[in-house]
Amino acid sequence: MKLRDLFRLVWSNLNRMRARAVMSSLGVLIGTAAIVILISLAAGLQRNATESLSSIGPLNEITLLGGVLQAFGGVPGQEEARLTPKVLEALSASPGVVAVTPRESLVGQPQLKLNRLTGSASLVGVDARVVRKLNWETASGSLQLGRWQVLARHAKRMLPAIDTSTVSEWSNLRPTLPDSLPVIGRAPNFSNVIFAFGHQHVGLTAGPKTGEIVADLVAGRAPNIDLRPFRVDRF
């Protein structure tokens, strides 16, 4: 074999090995890209499924709505189930239940305005005692119990037999008369009935004097002020 033929054979083998190395590199690159694409598709599908389930609502919360049973095949004429305080207490005592709260939506739709931007909001009331159990964070305000709830809790502690589950809380407008004066004096048609109401926002201040006037009327004494501006039949 001539020296020229020997160099030609060596060069041919080198070219064949280089082509094989390039093809091997391309195979590794294509395989890696395919794996990355498959992982990206799996992550995207998982994220899409999670967002779809999250849009339905929390998966660990159950919301009971009125009329749902009958709307989905309930038998008409059955006794309507009501979520009374006793039922809520029974649900709270069920295994695995962390907290139970009624939800009361405000009638109407409040509007929020910021400069030229206008939006709407929904106001929903819940039991403040279970907010921490539900891991809800408050942006502002306090979660302290109201006056009635504090009194009921202390009464339950002092008198365990007392039942506060059937008591309902409510609030109303302060009693205000057209002339902003209270009604103090005897009822026109019943001499044994004495009126003392309508003090508006100064009931605590005017209470002692009103009590003195009522005591005089009960004892048959003449009050030391003229009660004609406070008659119930002045209107």
Q: For 150-173, what is each residue's pLDDT tens digit? A: 777 788 888 888 887 776 666 666
Q: Tell whether 190 and 132 lie within a shared domain.
A: no
Q: Which of 80, 77, 56 is nearest to 66 (CA)?
A: 80
Domain that holds residue 152: 98-169
What 3-state class would DSSP assign to 219? Answer: helix
43-97: per-residue pLDDT in tens? 988 888 877 777 766 667 777 765 444 444 445 555 556 777 788 888 888 888 8
Distance CA 216, CA 224 (A): 9
> Chain-wide mean pLDDT for the chain?
79
Is residue 113 domain-shared with residue 161, that is, in the same domain?
yes
Q: Is 62 within a domain?
A: no
Domain annotation covers residue 68 = no
Query: What's the rounded Cα separation, in Å, for the pair 63 and 84?
Result: 15
Helices (H), the chain: 3-56, 68-71, 85-92, 147-158, 203-219
Which of 157, 233, 160, 143 lies closest to 195 in space, CA to CA? 233
Domain count, the chain: 3
In a domain, 77, yes or no: no
End-to-end CA distance of the chain: 137
In a domain, 82, yes or no: no
Residue 161, domain member (yes or no): yes
Classify residue 116: in a domain, yes or no.
yes
Tens digit of each residue's pLDDT (9 = 90 or more) over 192-223: 999 999 888 888 889 999 999 999 999 999 99
Q: Are residues 147 and 192 in the same domain?
A: no
Q: How many CB atoms lie within 10 A of CB 138?
A: 10
